[in-house]
Amino acid sequence: MTVESTAARQPRRSAGTKSTAGKRTTAKKPPSNEPELVQLLTPEGKRVKNAEYDKYVAGITPEELRGLYRDMVLTRRFDAEATSLQRQGELGLWASLLGQEAAQIGSGRATREDDYVFPTYREHGVAWCRGVDPTNLLGMFRGVNNGGWDPNSNNFHLYTIVIGSQALHATGYAMGITKDGADSAVIAYFGDGASSQGDVSEAFNFAAVYNAPVVFFCQNNQWAISESNEKQTRVPLYQRAQGFGFPGVRVDGNDVLASLAVTRWALERARRGEGPALIEAWTYRMGAHTTSDDPTRYRHDDERQAWEAKDPILRLRRFLEASNHADEGFFAELETESEALGKRVREAVRAMRDPDRFAIFENVYADGHALVDEERAQFAAYQASFADAEGV
Amino acid sequence: MAAEKMALAKAINESMRRALEADPKVVVMGEDVGKLGGVFRVTDGLQKDFGEDRVIDTPLAESGIVGTAIGLALRGYRPVVEIQFDGFVFPAYDQIVTQLAKMHARSLGKVKLPVVVRIPYGGGIGAVEHHSESPEALFAHVAGLKIVSPSNASDAYWMMQQAIQSDDPVIFFEPKRRYWDKGEVNTEAIPGPLHKARVVREGTDLTLAAYGPMVKLCQEAAAAAAEEGKNLEVLDLRSVSPLDFDAVRASVEKTRRLVVVHEAPVFFGSGAEIAARITERCFYHLEAPVLRVGGYHAPYPPARLEEEYLPSLDRVLDAVDRALAY
């Protein structure tokens, strides 16, 4: 299948349209092969028309396009710096987003300030879009805290490590928006692995039953650590929405423009009171699951190379250059900015001090707890006993 | 009409009604809590008076109920969640343990989750499997949760008020076999602190410590023992986490003997924790080891056998005799 023919096809919305999707669920043809997806920019950087989704990016300016490019480049630079910092022993772990920049920046830039975001632990690009300082993301990976930012400052919830739990929190939050009579929306991120969790299915169902303004954004990066799509599902994930009674769309997750357009569509209909939607962003985890993972044990490098040709940053650069939307000066300036960001992150991480040991007992409860008070006092006495012994 | 005699279930109902009236952010949610009023009628009439937006019938998915309650709390609501029966809480256990309990700490105090999870618990009503269990110890082990269990109508009313006002998640264990027990409730009283125990019968020879459904049993045991000339003190712990060890200690320093009674299995139960801590604190006051009366290390039995499994008057008195024999 050529890229053009893929792009020209209509997305199969699971609600309202008569679907031919059944064909894809047969055992003969695994769901991950040759997906049909919404694409506005081909890997070669060519803009293709899409009758349904063009209107969501119709007014986009060259400046905004350069902004998306800048977001992706800086996010990738930050991510690379974090991986290096893990290798240098400054971080205990890092979960790289390499390859998923377009899905995250496109969807993240579709959100409004009053929308609320529920991430997994890999949404560094979305955090960037929400204005969370990237250095704040690193505290938990360094081991100085379990989430170092105020979720309400940027309407960006803490990273959630238990797979899929946040889909329910997002749904509950969206139910609250409805009760408040507000026109904000919520976006819940999760991955192909999380799609197997009961909490995700329960979230789909609650969202549908209460018509909650929540967009479920699944980044299908093909691998749940070592388990491929075939181990998670027998139907394309976006088609699951149909069974719950709301639309599902598969978008090219390496196409920032398409990710932006489809997420705008979903958020806008949620704000209008039309309920939830599921977006499956078809993308690829170019790196390991985390810095502790070894992908050579379960996947071939030729697969990675095939996805390299579909790189999200490269295709937007090609488009910007071909349309004369960005000149050499822009790219050079961005290169300088990237290096400055890397340096800032590096210095910030190295300057992060270990928390005070009594932080163990902080914020266990909002209204206090007698046992915590008692154990803190015991811990203090124990610590003090060393000070006495040393004559300090 | 400040003081009124009402059943324990009705007291909880009245307490939720008061909270719904006082604070528009309070919502009640769970399975069958709407038109039906809950399988025990604890939410009876609330949906009729406060509407489907505030008294919410949910899909039958406990993890979904607690998970969405967390989301509502993040939005500023104060959800009061009903888990229909003790044995059905486990699909929600993950959300309660990994999310509800920890979010305040992992947000460095920036997020508060004022969620009450109501669980009718315990046996003695001749129910089928999964309808008679006492899982409180499984929650007490988790930092970030508070666990309480009222034994009477007045406590049920006031402890529910305080649980809803708490900025911490509270697991509210309701003694289902006592739902229909009536007691005086003064809705204008000034309640004591939520997590303080109360001496419900003064005594000198031995302390019986219990909470929830077992307080009444201990009072009956103390009355029976009194006929034999034994003067037992009965302590209603009211709260399992935090547990009022100061009150237990004060009582044991007076009586020098302690028997803890709960329906939950004895093994790793709250009685084990009480025994360990009281032994540490009152070692030289104790005349006997702390004894425990509770369920066995076996699945909750079929209803026809539950009287053998549950602490009974005679089993409590047997433990009292053994403790006094030291």
Identify all chain A residues contacting B92, using CB atoms and an 8 Å cutoff. Answer: none
Assess contact for A146 and A169: CB atoms under 8 A: no
Sign of CA dihedral B7, B37, B93, A186: negative
Task: Provide the shortest C-alpha distance from residue B282 to chain A (in Å).
Answer: 16
Strand-strand pairing, B26-30 and B78-82:
parallel
B11, B30, B243, B188 alpha-carbon torsion, rounded to 10°: -30
Indicate the burial class of B137 (C-beta count within 10 angstroms; 0-12, 13-18, 19 or more): buried
Higher pLDDT, A19 or A333: A333
**CB-hemisphere CA count at 13 Å for A135?**
12
Which residue in the set A147, A168, A369 is minimally distant from B106, CB to CB?
A147
What kind of fold does domain A35-351 have according to CATH? Rossmann fold (3.40.50)
- pLDDT confidence bin for A19, thresholds 50/70/90: very low
Identify all chain A residues contacting B95, using CB atoms and an 8 Å cutoff. Answer: 165, 168, 199
Evaluate if residue A10 carries a pLDDT over 90.
no
Q: Locate tokens 């009236």: which residue?
A: B21
CB count within 10 Å of CB A161 equals 15
Evaluate if residue A235 carries a pLDDT over 60.
yes
pLDDT at A389: 61
- What's the token pair of residue A120? 């997994």
The secondary element (H helix, E strand) that includes residue B56 is strand B55-57
3-state secondary structure (DSSP) of residue B84: coil
**A65–chain B Cβ distance below 8 A for any pair:** no
A306, A310, A312, A315 alpha-carbon torsion, rounded to 10°: 140
Q: What is the pLDDT of residues A198-218, one digit of tens each?
A: 999 999 999 999 999 999 999
Task: Provide the shortest C-alpha distance from residue B257 to chain A (in Å).
Answer: 23
Domain-by-domain residue ranges, chain A?
Answer: 35-351, 359-391
Secondary structure E strands in chain A: 116-118, 186-191, 214-220, 223-224, 227-228, 248-252, 277-282
Identify all chain B residues contacting A173, using CB atoms and an 8 Å cutoff. Answer: 71-72, 74-75
Indicate the burial class of A33 (C-beta count within 10 angstroms; 0-12, 13-18, 19 or more): exposed
Q: Locate tokens 């991955």: which residue?
A: A191
CB count within 10 Å of CB A301 equals 10
Secondary structure E strands in A31-125: 116-118
pLDDT at A36: 86
Evaluate if residue A290 carries a pLDDT over 50.
yes
pLDDT at B305: 97
- What's the token pair of residue B122? 């315990």
Task: Provide the shortest C-alpha distance from residue B318 to chain A (in Å).
Answer: 32
pLDDT at A148: 78
Evaluate if residue A27 carries a pLDDT over 80.
no
Active-site residue, A289 included: yes
Sign of CA dihedral A122, A124, A130, A135: positive
- Name the residue in chain B with its Cα closest to that of A186: B71
Alpha carbons A334 and A314: distance in angstroms, whole number = 14
Mean pLDDT of A293-313: 95
Alpha carbons B109 and B102: distance in angstroms, whole number = 10
**A170–chain B Cβ distance below 8 A for any pair:** yes
Which residue in the set A157, A168, A177 is minimally distant from B95, CB to CB?
A168
Assess contact for A285 and A70: CB atoms under 8 A: no
- Convert A263-294 to b/e letters by CB count within 10 Å (16 or more is b): bbbbbebbbeeebbbbbbbbbbbbbbbbbebe
Residue A84 sits at φ, ψ, to 5 deg, of -60, -40
Three-state secondary structure of B189-242:
CCCCCCCCCEEEECCCCEEEEECCCHHHHHHHHHHHHHHCCCCEEEEECCEEEC
Rg of chain B over all Cα atoms, to the nearest angstrom = 19
Could A362 and B76 be called an inter-chain contact, meaning their C-beta atoms sit closer than 8 Å? no
3-state secondary structure (DSSP) of residue B315: helix
Mean pLDDT of A115-120: 98
Nearest residue to A122 (alpha-carbon basis) of A24, A218, A18, A31: A218
Alpha carbons B183 and B180: distance in angstroms, whole number = 10
pLDDT at B185: 98
Which residue in the set B53, B68, B166 is minimally distant from A171, CB to CB?
B68
Alpha carbons A381 and A384: distance in angstroms, whole number = 5
Mean pLDDT of chain A: 92
Assess contact for A277 and A249: CB atoms under 8 A: yes
Could A364 and B73 be called an inter-chain contact, meaning their C-beta atoms sit closer than 8 Å? no
Indicate the burial class of A76 (C-beta count within 10 angstroms; 0-12, 13-18, 19 or more): buried
Alpha helices in chain B, H assignment, sequence order: 8-22, 46-50, 62-74, 93-94, 103-106, 136-140, 153-165, 214-227, 245-255, 270-282, 306-309, 313-324
Q: What is the pLDDT of residues A264-274, one digit of tens each?
A: 999 999 999 99
Q: ∠B168-B169-B171 over CA atoms, to 5°?
A: 135
Residue B18 sits at φ, ψ, to 5 deg, of -60, -40
Alpha carbons B313 and A11: distance in angstroms, whole number = 69
Could B167 and A366 be called an inter-chain contact, meaning their C-beta atoms sit closer than 8 Å? yes
Alpha carbons B130 and B116: distance in angstroms, whole number = 21
Which residue in the set A169, A364, A369 is minimally distant from B70, CB to CB?
A169
Alpha carbons B249 and B258: distance in angstroms, whole number = 10
CB pairs under 8 A between A and B: 142
Which residue in the set A173, A205, A369 is minimally distant from B61, CB to CB?
A205
**A206–chain B Cβ distance below 8 A for any pair:** yes
pLDDT at A114: 98
Assess contact for B235 and B207: CB atoms under 8 A: yes
Evaluate if residue A111 carries a pLDDT over 50.
yes
For residue B193, is the peptide bond before it cis, meaning its omega torsion is within 30 degrees of 0?
A: no
- Name the residue in chain A with its Cα closest to that of B54: A179
Could B61 and A146 be called an inter-chain contact, meaning their C-beta atoms sit closer than 8 Å? no
Give B302's DSSP letter: P
Nearest residue to B56 (alpha-carbon basis) of B69, B47, B68, B45: B47
- pLDDT confidence bin for A28, thresholds 50/70/90: very low
Sign of CA dihedral A30, A33, A36, A37: positive
Q: ∠A94-A100-A103 over CA atoms, to 5°?
A: 135
pLDDT at A378: 97
**How far does CA B242 lie from the centroid of its chain?**
12
The percent helix, strand, coil of chain A (3-state, each to 5) is 50, 10, 40
Residues of chain B with confidence (pLDDT) below 70:
1
- Cβ partners under 8 Å of residue B318, min gap 6: none
Q: What is the pLDDT of residues B270-319, one digit of tens each?
A: 999 999 999 999 999 999 999 999 999 999 999 999 999 999 999 999 99
**Helical pair A312-322 and A256-271, crossing angle rounded to 10 deg:** 100
Active-site residue, A189 included: no
In percent, the amount of chain A with pLDDT more than 70 equals 90
Rg of chain A over all Cα atoms, to the nearest angstrom = 22
**CB-hemisphere CA count at 13 Å for A113?**
2
Could A171 and B67 be called an inter-chain contact, meaning their C-beta atoms sit closer than 8 Å? yes
Give B300's DSSP letter: P
pLDDT at A202: 98
Assess contact for A137 and B39: CB atoms under 8 A: no
